[in-house]
Amino acid sequence: MAKNLLIVESPAKATTINKYLGPDFEVLASYGHVRDLIPKGGAVDPDNNFEMHYRIIDRNKKHVDKIVSSAKKADAVYLATDLDREGEAISWHIAEILKERGINEKKPIKRVVFSEITKSAIDQAMAHPRDLVEPLVDAQQARRALDYLVGFNLSPLLWKKVSRGLSAGRVQSPALRMIVEREEEIEKFKPQEYWTIGATLGEQDNPFNANLVKVAGKKLAQFDLVSEADAQAVVDRIETNADTSNGAKTLPLSRIKKSQRRRRPQPPFITSTLQQEAARRLRFTTQRTMRLAQQLYEGVDLGGGENQGLITYMRTDSVALSADALAEIRQVVQSDYGAHLIPEKPNFYQSKSKNAQEAHESIRPTSAKLTPIKVKSHLSDEQYKLYQLIWNRAVASQMIPAVYDTVTAEFDVGDETFRANGSILIEPGFLAVYQDAQAETDNRLPPLEEGDRVVLQEITPEQHFTEPPPRYSEASLVKALEEYGIGRPSTYASIIQTLKDREYVELENRRFTPTSTGRVVSKFLSTHFDRYVDYEFTARLEDALDAVSRGENEWRPLLKEFWTPFIERVHEKEESVSRKEAQLARELGTDPKTGKPVIVRVGRYGPFAQIGQAEDEEKPAFAGLRPGQKMDAITLEEALELFKLPRDLGQTPEGEPIQANVGRFGPYVRYGQRNFVSLKEIDPLDVTHEQAMVLIAEHKQMLKDRVIKSFPEHGIEILKGRYGPFITDGNVNAKVPKDVEPDSLDLETCQKLIAEAPPKGSRGKFGRKKAGKKKVAKKKATKKKATKKKTAKKKKAAKKKAAKKTQSASSTD
């Protein structure tokens, strides 16, 4: 029986490490976080010194039970979760659970950390165990508490003032503001005309290009030439002043400067630069990059049945390389590329982050000798591309600079000056391994000496217009967040994913565009909670959390300083801001048929138009905006068109009614009561019965093809699904057990599996929702509505009494 227990976060890591430690160790996985704040109000109690109430995450209960059981039998427990503050917090939670479950206090519970999963790194870590670092734990608790306090108070306010289902987050909201403000910049942008003038110089068989850099003896600024007439006047002067004594027009070479320019290699990757480069070069999303990096870190089977970690820990702000890594990289450069490419001393880089010591090294290969080509056959295509990127960058960082010979030649003609620039790469240096975004192609100039006269072949004036700033891509958003100091590298991927999941942004051509919902939420927060979406305030708060992790600040006073003015602002806005103001509702005009106002506003599923008011006797008519339509731009005529939907298109041969409409996910055709078919590119206002029938026939065939087995008299089917075969009765879906052939199931087994399955949508982080909850809520809502007038005064008094309580809604970074 194993004497010691070592706990890591993931089963893949556990498998790799288990082979290194031998029979004296049992290695178990926590499967990520083991505890989280209780999923209701009061999880963080500001009135009780910000006491935090945790609960074991339901899906991890069995893993926690196994850890506790093994810990009771072990002589010592080693906590080997990730080396950052989040990993430190997970280790702390595990230690707390072990104490609560009665583990002997005298039993050693030690912390071990490593930045790579190799035998030498594991052995080194096990030889130097330590205690938990309380400041790292405190920093993570403070971060979680802040996220909770913001989310559980701002989100309900958004529900009340804008629409249910919305959320706000301490870091997600400033990130959304960036995207919205960039879109507003683009919309307000007015292009400005300007002109440049180029020239083709030299002999016919060896021409080169030059650009006008001085006009009337002064440096040419961007808007000095703003019309074709301006440019032509300069061209006319140049042609007049050009020397024609030898028949052809020539310009004198007035000045020439020759020099060398060196470009140093970039440092090895940190989390943010890896995300940016992988997005730019490989077109990977931040989430995909981090998922693949996790796989490379946790270990890959390189043959012989043993996994080996290929890269160091991928959540880091540090650009440092260990002495062993430096030595090995220099050896590889010498053997594979030549000793002349090794600098006399190693290249050292300075980390930008004050907190970079939190993670010990940059992202690098665990062994530079494991070249990409050696491991390619053991990796997926995506894993290989990312590993090659990481290996190339790390190796290149320890090579000599690239060296260019540069030439700058200037040609004066009257009071105007042309300049030609040439450069030749004479020593590739690190570019032999890593071609970065700044790598240049050779631009050779012919042999030139001061006083030479060169032929002026052609003068080319060119019209330009200024362009708006580009929308953010994932790479440029990560860069902007990093520059502002908002969030931390480990959170960038989740911030971006949250914005997409909440449907606050859309990706068009790999660029972020805010949705109408995103605009309304951002405007509400920027107007009423400006301090809390302010870039500098958010960055200062991140710095304060970093100071906590370094042991320089206490975390509870930090929370108190944030909480008091924040909750006062929440309560003030709850009373002072109207729903209409928060929703940015626009009245477009009057419906000519009913005489009622036509309004656009945002709801739970996005922007929509309505005819009439909620107070009217007759219920208002609603219609969702079409893809591409915006609340702040839609006209009355366009809005009225929306109310022509749904359109009746007749019936199917079976007598099923057909309608065309627009829904949350775009235009569709519905046939029968519950069958929906996407219209894709067809306009629902134009679609014909014949077109609809083609789509319906395809849909029916698809439904037929997915049926594995059917019990029509009982309304039960076994179907092919996206995640494998399942059984359904139309209300409840049940998975087909993995070891069972779907078509072998009989009716009785199907009925049993359906009876044991949870209702649709009932799975959650902490387990199933209570049955009947919606019905109870509905009854309460009806009762509340009936007694609304009676209890209005009591409700107002109760609000004041409950001012200090936190509300129940959640959000994360």
The catalytic residues are 313
Neighbours of 131 (CB within 10 A): 9
The label of the residue with tokens 């909770």 reads 148
Instruction: Provide the 8-state DSSP code for 350.
Output: -
Task: Give CA–CA dist 506/522, Å, rounded.
Answer: 15
Which two tokens mark 219?
């440096």
Residue partners of 406: CB distance under 8 A and separation at least 6:
258, 259, 260, 261, 421, 422, 423
CA 166 from centroid of its chain's CA atoms = 18
Q: Tell which residue, 166, 148, 150, 164, has the closest CA to residue 781.
A: 164
Is-contact 552 136, C-beta < 8 A? Answer: no
* Dihedral, 506, 508, 511, 513 alpha carbons, nearest 10: -40
User: 24 Cβ partners below 8 Å, 6+ apart?
Assistant: 2, 3, 4
Two structure tokens written together for 643 = 């109310």
Buried residues in 96-129 as b, exposed as e (16+ CB within 10 A): ebbeeeebeeeeebbbbbbbbbbeebbeebbeeb
Rounded Cα gap, residues 141 and 260, in angstroms: 53
CA 365/CA 314 separation, integer angstroms: 11
Cα distances (Å, whole numbers) of residue 726 to 179, 542, 699, 737 = 40, 46, 19, 9
β-sheet bridge partners, residue 288: none
Instruction: Provide the residue type at 73 as one letter.
Output: K
Joined together, the tokens standing for residue 417 give 């000056």
Peptide bond into 646 cis (omega under 30): yes
Task: Report the run of H or E that residue 650 belongs to, with start and end.
Answer: strand 647-651
- The answer to whether 734 touches 754, Cβ cutoff 8 Å, is yes
Cβ–Cβ contacts within 10 Å for residue 287, how many?
A: 16
Report helix, strand or coil for 181: helix
| H or E stretch covering 667 | strand 666-671
Task: Give φ, ψ of 737 to 5 degrees.
Answer: -50, 145
In this structure, the chain runs to a length of 813
Distance CA 504, CA 512 (A): 10
CA distance 160 to 799: 14
Q: Do residues 416 and 452 touch, judged by C-beta distance below 8 A?
A: no
Q: How many CB atoms lie within 10 A of CB 453?
A: 14
Name the token pair of 791: 């209890």
Region of 732 (left: φ > 0; alpha: ψ -120 to 50; beta: rest) is: beta
Determine the Cα–Cα distance for residues 311 and 296; give it in Å rounded to an integer. 6
Farthest-apart Cα atoms in the chain, separation: 104
Phi and psi angles of residue 592, each rounded to the nearest 5 degrees, phi first: -65, -25
- The DSSP string of 624-646 is EPPTT--TTT--HHHHHHHTT-S
* Phi, psi at 614, each rounded to 5°: -60, -30
User: What six digits make up the tokens of 458?
Assistant: 């052609």
* Cβ neighbourhood burial of 543 (10 Å; 0-12, 13-18, 19+): middle
Closest CA relative to residue 118, chosen from 296, 281, 250, 309: 309
Separation of alpha carbons 371 and 310, rounded Å: 10
